Chain A
Amino acid sequence: RKEVEQDPGPFNVPEGATVAFNCTYSNSASQSFFWYRQDCRKEPKLLMSVYSSGNEDGRFTAQLNRASQYISLLIRDSKLSDSATYLCVVNGGWGKFQFGAGTQVVVTP
């Protein structure tokens, strides 16, 4: 079983709609969590950190469920520019980050 798993998609979303997807992780000792955005063949860039109480940044909302060991990302009022691959990143502590393989989102006009 992979340490961090994501639905690869693609999630095809009409412009203006809402899309949500999850990421599950296997290490219950994981301490911090992030969502990154990656455009085709470019470097991943931090979208937002995920806090225990959940957090929002504009149209993006991230949630953490420690009991079930998953994080989620919700995008409201999707824009064409939101089309990208979203990477879930889990920091297990001393050592390395664990990356999910990414969820592709395609926003259509």
Chain B
Amino acid sequence: EAQVTQNPRYLITVTGKKLTVTCSQNMNHEYMSWYRQDPGLGLRQIYYSMNVEVTDKGDVPEGYKVSRKEKRNFPLILESPSPNQTSLYFCASRRQGAGVNTEAFFGQGTRLTVV
């Protein structure tokens, strides 16, 4: 089954304690990205990757890091989480390009609370 898997689904942590949210896809997609979703603001892109070892900032990259060492994995790292990073996070993957077969597939989301 084609899927994007995120872990953990729920996480409560304290300010400053480094954490990693994992994301893995089994569709051999080149393109992967991370979003955060906050009430009234919609989905905002944090980072994206167009292929292995190729990553770039999205709209709200401050406070986040990513890596793409393998095609299937794209972890999101918060080196020093702060309360304003409390949010719902989604990982997504899709084929590269701009045609109609480039729809994105989303992970189930990670609800992060930083206290």
Interface residues in chain A, defined as those with a beta carbon under 8 Å from any beta carbon in chain B: 31-32, 34, 41-46, 49, 51, 87, 89, 91-97, 99-102
Contacts and interface: CB of A to CB of B under 8 A. Distances in A.
Nearest to A47: B103
Q: 7 shortest A-B CB distances, which residue pairs? A: A101-B42, A31-B98, A43-B106, A99-B43, A93-B98, A49-B100, A46-B103
A85 to B, nearest CB: 10
Interface size class of B (residues with CB under 8 A): 20 to 34
B98 A94 contact: yes
A89 B43 CA distance: 10
B109 A43 contact: yes
Contact of B42 (A32, A96, A102): A102
Contacts of A102: 42
Contacts of A41: 88, 109, 111
Contact of B90 (A31, A43, A46): A43
Interface of B: 33, 35, 40-43, 45, 48, 50, 56, 58, 88, 90, 94, 98-100, 102-109, 111
Contacts of B111: 41
A2 to B, nearest CB: 9
Contacts of B103: 34, 46, 49
A44 B94 CA distance: 14
Nearest to B94: A97
Contacts of B99: 31-32
Contacts of A91: 98, 102
Contacts of B108: 42-43
A89 to B, nearest CB: 7
A100 B98 contact: no
B115 to A, nearest CB: 19
